[in-house]
Amino acid sequence: LEFFRVEVEVLDINDHAPAFPESDIQVEISESATPGTRFPLESALDPDVGNNSLRAYELTANSYFALDVQTQGDGNKFAELVLKKQLDREQQAVHRYVLTAMDGGSPQRTGTALLTVKVLDSNDNVPVFEQQVYTVSLPENSPPGTLVLQLNASDLDEGQNGEVLYSFSSHNSPRVRELFSMDARSGRLEVAGELDYEESAMYQVYVQAKDMGPNAVPAHCKVLVKLLDLNDNAPDISFSTVKEAVSEAAPPGTVVALFSVTDRDSEENGQIHCEVLGDVPFRLKLSY
């Protein structure tokens, strides 16, 4: 009885396609990432050996990313996603591509995964007011709490980077800060003090909007508040010369008194009409 040693070599056939552990691959990249930045991707697996094993990766043609295939010491291959072009979340927040793994067999087998790139926001946008200059007309004596203007500034960023706070600019006069108030969250500009046309017919209110992100840059606008005059002042009579007694022989035209009349209101509210009441031997004459 004789024994012979027989070695049987099992030749691999390309009976497996490369496969990714997950059919969806998620990658998050900040929009501030610079071109050339690399992002390793999850590798595909292929149990075949030799030429039938995993040989290459391919990505849907696009202008933002390229693939760089690396070979490890054990021969396994993995791909890195390389940024070619600056991302902008405000233009496109999500990029989707098909990532394909290919073996070297004949016929060639492939496996695919959906690669989703989510672009993370960076604080690269400043708030923008709807107008640079607003003009508002408001009656004088409007009570505190009266709405002057509802301001709105939009910021294309998201989260805190897009959350806008409103405030007075530093170069507002102390009087403006006394007469007006600004709600930081809503952008509501209100009357806070007593408005008087005769004190000032117009106020310039400077407002800034600033997001809550890092390195935030404020935006500015100007609100011109024009006050409308109300008839809230009575005429003021001031005598400069008065004769205590008048001779009965005084001829007509003798000046008995000199006085002036002023009214702090404007236009029709400040126009004055004077007359002598009753049946008296006097008349009024305009001296200038």
pLDDT category at 37 given cuts 50, 70, 90 is very high
Q: Per mean pLDDT, which range of 9-23, 54-68, 110-124, 259-273 is the poorest?
A: 259-273
- Give the model's pLDDT for residue 278: 76
Asked whether residue 66 is assigned to any structural domain, the reply reads yes
- Give the model's pLDDT for residue 3: 86
pTM over 0.75: no
Determine the residue type at 87: L
Asked whether residue 7 is assigned to any structural domain, the reply reads no
Asked whether residue 183 is assigned to any structural domain, the reply reads yes
Asked whether residue 138 is assigned to any structural domain, the reply reads yes
Q: Per mean pLDDT, which range of 110-124, 153-167, 226-240 is the poorest?
A: 226-240
Q: For residue 156, give its domain range.
A: 128-228
Last residue of a domain, one of 213, 228, 243: 228
Instruction: Give dist(CA 37, CA 18) in Å, integer.
Output: 27
Q: Higher confidence at residue 286 or residue 147?
A: 147
What is each CA distance from 161 to 91, 124, 157, 166, 213, in whole angstroms? 16, 8, 5, 14, 4
Residue 41: how many CB atoms within 10 A of its CB?
Answer: 19
Whether 264 and 219 map to the same domain: the answer is: no
- Give the model's pLDDT for residue 285: 77
Q: List beta partners, residue 227.
A: 138
Host H or E run for residue 179: helix 174-179
Domain total for the chain? 3
